[in-house]
Structure 1
Amino acid sequence: MSAKPKKTPDTLRSSRWFGPDDLRSFGHRSRMMQLGYAEEEFRGRPIIGILNTWSDLNSCHGHFPERVKDVKRGVQMAGGFPVEMPSLSVDESFTKPTSMLYRNMLAMEVEETIRSHPLDGVVLMGGCDKTTPGLVMGAITAGVPMIYLPAGPMLRGHYAGKILGSGSDAWKYWDERRAGNISDEEWLGIQGGIARSVGTCMTMGTASTMTAITDALGLTLPGASSIPAADSGHQRMSSECGRRIVDMVWEDLTPDQILTDAAFRNAAIIAMATGCSTNAVVHLIAMARRAGVDLTLDDLDALGRTTPLVANVRPAGKDYLMEDFFYAGGLRALMKQMEERLETSCLTVTGKTIGENLEGAEVYNDDVIRPLSNPVYHEGSLAVLRGNLCPDGAVIKPAACDPAYHVHEGPALVFDSYPEMKAAVNDPDLDVTPDHVMVLRNAGPLGGPGFPEWGMLPIPTALVRQGHRDMLRISDARMSGTSYGACVLHVAPESFVGGPLALLKTGDIVRLDLPNRTLDMLVDEAELERRRADWTPPEPKFQRGWGHMFSKHVTQADKGCDFDYLERGHGEAAGEPEIY
């Protein structure tokens, strides 16, 4: 970037609030003085909003009250004026029915917070699954300089000499608990050892996937997504974010200069190479559409067919966790391995290109970050299916399921609700075999409501006790990024709006052909037409409030589940507020 600033004090966005010699600006300056600030502290300096998604119930962000101090220190060192702006904390563990119901609320809050306040640039503090896309989506639309500060993964879990991975090992040991193989004492020990520091899940779940995607897009400091939350390097990175955003304001380095078609292609390739969460599909498409980039399921599937999985990190990898990934060189090292497949001329928040940011990156453990010649899996971590069950697409994570189910045909066992399914799988006398295909419907964006993480259907107790730990499962729900197994997800259109999944009956034969990317029910079209004629639309889930707005405007999974009126191209943005 040119050393000559593109912005001057009188052209700062905040100068519209504080600069004029009129009654309104007098009031703005007066209220800042009421807060204890001298005029020279804020007037003519870049005002940096720090959008902090901390809360007392968000364990992933438990360190953010301290990190915001680091960011403020960096902003002040660079000559800016920091202001903390609390934002909706959509934590993954406690927000019901699902945090996904509120991702778009966070995006709207971020956009309007930036638009309506005297902010010249923003630092986005997030990490827990939906905070990353929510923050980025809102900031894309707002259009001011932004930099993303990832929360960082927690430390490895430990219990009884075993290394535990958050989420993944919870599902694993819960199956053993249901089979009667784990005592109360052991279960309590696992509970206390699986998440033992601040930070996001340390598997390559949705949190680490989305922060890696944001890193690959060029929206973080290089490699910031890999730094463990408890590492002192995370504090230094936070301070550097504060310093860098001030320079970005003077350079007028806005997100539209960074978020190009090529940047999203880079991000998708890196997502595939890391063994990303299936949730990445929904969020990546949503962010792209906000940026005016036409990224589709078919684009992602094409990249998935040609991108090897090189990060040996659970759950798609077998052996390691995010702390090991960091010590092995982190995301910069992985991107260096993939450099020949990337568009390295893409600009980043550093003001440098991807290629420049990767100079000097090295892999320190080639079992954690594999070379292209020895990948964990020969293709990327996601595949997109189509067929008469999912004409608008469905996704599966091939590397995380038993290869025996890559081609499978079996009778459907259909459930219309999660409680119905849960009661059935806990019945030790359930009439089920490993060849059955478990199906959950009415769990999509509208049917859930909110697109909950119900897609990793529990293996029926009757099969667990026989030693089975996987079977083919299909739903219009999502699943946790820390999950694994032969789970087909995001079936679109969802059953709640009359998608073909609504027509499936118990006993119908379902066929999955992963190599050919097909998913079908073997039912003739005449019979399906009869079922369509008999299908009755369900009653809406909401009559008022946020849920009502969500139901009226959310798009289907293949379009990213954003609100239809928030995507780029849907009318003009509200623009800058009038200041009278």
Structure 2
Amino acid sequence: MSLRSDRWFKHPSKETRFQHLSAMRANGHVPESFVGKPIIGIFNSWSDLNSCNAPHKELVEFVKRGVLLAGGYPLEMHTITTPADFMKPSDLPYRNLMAMDVEESIRALPIDGAVLLCECDKTTPAQLMGAASSNIPSLQLAAGHRASGSFRGKKVNYGTDLWKLMDDYNAGLLTDEEWSELEKCISCTQGGCPVMGTSSTMKCLSEILGMMLPGTSTNPATHASRKWAAEETGKRIVAMVREELTPARLMTEAAFDNAIKLLAALGGSTNAVIHLTAIAGRLGIHIPLKRYEEKSKGIPLLVNLQPSGEYSMDDFFEAGGLGAVISRLLPELDATCLSALGTTLEESYRDYPAYRDDVIYSLAEPYKVEAGIAVLTGNLAPSGAILKRAASSLINHQHRGQAIVFDSYEEMYETIDSEQLEVDETSVLVLRNCGPVGAGMPEWGALPIPKKLLKQGIRDMVRISDARMSGTSFGTNILHVSPEAQLGGPIAAIRSGDWIVVDLDHGTISVELADVEIRERLRDWSPVRSHKRGFMKLHADHVLQADQGCDLDFLRPNSKEEAKFIEPIVGRG
């Protein structure tokens, strides 16, 4: 078997070989222990600011054990991480930076396979993007979701329950004392959000794409099976190196179609639209925005999980987890696609049982008939916008209301709760200048319901933005409006009082203005933000729009041929 690492450690130049072997000895790696064996780079992403990924501080040792047991040699290394709670204004731009970190580390270093330790929202897609671009055998291991908390005798989940209780607090239904108590108990362990938010969604999609071992995406962080999964991942990656099972062989066009269908069945995060598009783009695979609606058409919601349902990830795990969902969804999938085991989805998942029919439903009797992503286009969003059907209360499928426009998050925050705000439940809240270029596309799209409406018992209304929303959020939030306002998209022309019409049946979102009026208004438009230096300037200069995955233009090949990995020249350092 020819190993990539041999180019470093069996280099024909004595001087080059000497340099590499001597550098390894300095860290206690004796050549007799690793030369000629598959060298596995374990890319760790924990930090003291990332509670989601913190379990990897321990789990990495079990991955190493698995690699050694399978005859490989493990080397741990670190990349940047993307703690969603802390990175401001948004962690999305740093997904691209982390993807570059992973790709360039793989490209430049003597490793034959990679284990990618993920969890928090952007770490999973970032690693998949880097793995797609480098295309050496790669496998992900998630840290697992955190436990649900307990608040005054009731189970609460970090994420979805937080937003609901925040509305109650703003409506005056919770005291300051209760709010302080909630802060202490809602997030009681390390790990990802315990609902079907972005973290859980992307782990599940990684598994169906063949980049995570079957049955390992939905285990709790606190469960011993996480350690078993870590060891098995270490064993399996060594075998994948020997089998030359690369990301390009696993993440095919058909596999991405399967992932879109699974996204609908899970009621998964809207952020997955951006991430799947970006990951596929690294392989030269183009996913048009409309494909998300087309492929999820007829796929019902099978999982009763927050934010689209009532249960938590612990309940999901006990009910059979992702394996049970894929097993029930197999008739709708291309079951010839490969899992990380190198076997077909049919072979890998057909025997997974579901233990709780109140959590995991069937195709014949689903939890909700309508699921998936609604794609809307029109004079307000020529390149598209999206809505998560399962989380929306827009039951009549049509809405017409007058716009209340906020030019920035700061303006919205200062005025949304004003008693002078002329708003009712039919109003349409519009937030702009928060897109990929304007602000790095933060999760500001789930605009808060004005306090005066919360006091009336209103908990949902139509909201539109060029931003994203948290995967744990819910409501009638129309997101990712493209082109964004910062680039002079039509959303930049909207004024408060304009009539906006949303029609789910026809897939349209429009403002009742003539095209000539929109053009006339945009003549007076100018960008409101600019980034002066550093990575955010690089990002703003090169980021693609939401319908194209928000990747950097110079990292996205134009074809599968251009996507082929270019190996470095190996010589003296």
Please classify the TM superposition score into its range, dividing by the shorter chain length: over 0.9
Q: Deviations over 1:486-509 (max 9, x none)?
A: 110000010110111001110000
Q: How far, CA to CA, are the matches of 1:324 and 1:568 in structure 2? A: 41
Equivalent residue number for residue 267 of structure 2: 275
**Aligned position for 2:514:** 524
CA contact (8 A) 2:297 2:372 kept: no
Aligned to 2:491: 501
Q: Does 1:555 pair with 2:544?
A: yes
1:348 and 2:339 correspond: yes
The equivalent of 1:399 in structure 2 is 390
Structure 2 CA distance, aligned partners of 1:397 and 1:347? 28
Q: Quote the Cα distance in structure 2 between the aligned partners of 1:559 and 1:227.
A: 32
- Do the aligned residues in 1 keep the contact of 2:207 with 2:339 (CA within 8 Å)? no
Is the partner of 1:507 in helix, strand or coil?
coil
1:291 matches 2:272? no
Residues 330 and 350 in structure 2, CA contact (< 8 A), matched pair in contact too: no
SS in structure 1 at match of 2:464: strand
Shift of the alpha carbon at 1:572? 6.8
| Secondary structure, aligned partner of 2:492 | helix
| Separation in structure 1 between the aligned mates of residue 246 and residue 170 of structure 2, nearest angstrom | 52
5 Å-filtered alignment, 1:18-37, equals: 18-20=9-11, 22-37=14-29
Residue 412, structure 1, aligned to residue 403, structure 2: yes
Q: CA deviation at 1:235?
A: 0.5
Aligned to 2:509, the other structure's residue is in SS state strand
Count of residues in correspondence between the two structures: 568
CA distance in 2: counterparts of 1:402 and 1:175, whole angstroms: 16
Shift of 1:299: 0.7
State the partner residue of 2:41: 49
1:568 Cα deviation from its structure 2 partner: 2.5
1:464 is aligned to: 454
User: Which whole-Å deviations, capped at 9, do the CAs of 1:308-350 have from their partners, x for residues lacking one?
Assistant: 1111001012x21111111111111001111101111112221
Instruction: Find the aligned partners of 1:226 and 1:492 in 2 and give their Cα distance.
Output: 33
1:381-423 CA distances to partner (integer Å, 9 max, x unpaired)?
3211111101111011122122346311010000100010111
* Further displaced range: 74-83 or 424-433: 424-433
User: 1:149-548 to 2 correspondence within 5 Å?
Assistant: 149-317=141-309, 319-404=310-395, 406-448=397-439, 450-536=440-526, 538=527, 541-548=530-537
CA distance change for structure 1 residues 222 and 233 in 2, over 3 Å: closer, same or farther? same
List alignment gaps of at least 5 residues for structure 2: none
* Alignment of structure 1 residues 142-153 onto 2, 5 Å: 142-153=134-145
Normalising by structure 2, we get a TM-score of 0.97
Alignment RMSD: 1.3
CA spacing shift, 1:177–1:540, aligned 2, 3 Å: closer
After superposition, what is the alpha-carbon deviation per residue over 1:201-234, rounded to whole angstroms, capped at 9, x for unaligned?
Answer: 0110000011111011111110211111110001
Partner of 1:63 in structure 2? Answer: 55
CA shift digits 1:33-60 (9 cap, x unpaired): 1211221111111110001110001000
Say if 1:188 and 1:503 are closer, same or farther in 2 by CA, change over 3 A. same
* 1:477 and 1:489 in contact (8 A); partners too: yes
Aligned to 1:3: none
CA distance in 1, matches of 2:181, 2:522: 51
Normalised to the residue count of structure 1, the TM-score between the two structures is: 0.96
Q: 2:555 aligns with which of 558, 566, 579?
A: 566
Per-residue deviation, 1:540: 5.2
Distance in 1, matches of 2:46 and 2:563, equals 32
Quote the Cα distance in structure 2 between the aligned partners of 1:188 and 1:230.
Answer: 25
Of residues 506-515 and 350-359 in structure 1, the stretch that sits farther from structure 2 once superposed is 350-359
Q: What's the secondary structure of 1:226's corresponding residue?
A: coil
Q: Return the letter of the residue paired with 1:488.
A: I
- In structure 1, give the amino acid aligned to 2:238: V
What is the alpha-carbon distance in structure 1 between the residues aligned to residue 554 and residue 208 of structure 2? 27
Structure 1: how far apart are the matches of 2:182 and 2:364? 37
Q: Secondary structure at the match of 2:172?
A: coil
Report the Cα distance in structure 2 between the residues aligned to 1:529 and 1:159, rounded to whole angstroms. 52
Distance of 2:563 and 2:529 partners within structure 1: 30
By how many angstroms is 1:262 displaced? 0.7
Amino acid in the other structure paired with 2:119: G
Query: Residue 151 of structure 1 aligns to which amino acid in structure 2?
Result: A
Structure 1 residue 175: Cα displacement: 1.1
Taking the aligned partners of 2:337 and 2:170, their CA distance within structure 1 comes to: 50
The one of 108, 115, 120 equivalent to 2:107 is 115
Displacement of 1:181 = 1.2
Q: Which amino acid aligns with 1:518?
A: T
Q: Give distance in 1, aligned partners of 2:204 and 2:144.
A: 10
The 2-side partners of 1:114 and 1:248 are apart by 16
Residue pair 2:293, 2:372 contacting (<8 A) in 1 also: no
Secondary structure of 1:61's partner? Answer: coil
More off after superposition, 347-356 vs 398-407: 398-407
Question: C-alpha distance in 2, partners of 1:27/1:533?
Answer: 62
Distance (Å, rounded) in 2 between the aligned partners of 1:351 and 1:220: 11
Q: Which amino acid aligns with 2:567?
A: E
CA contact (8 A) 1:411 1:510 kept: yes
Judge conservation of contact 1:400–1:486 (CA < 8 Å) in 2.
yes
* Distance of aligned partners of 1:466 and 1:379 in 2 relative to their CA distance in 1, 3 Å threshold: closer
Alpha-carbon separation, structure 1, partners of 2:523 and 2:86? 40
Contact 1:67-1:238 within 8 A present in 2 as well:
yes
Identity of aligned residues (%): 45
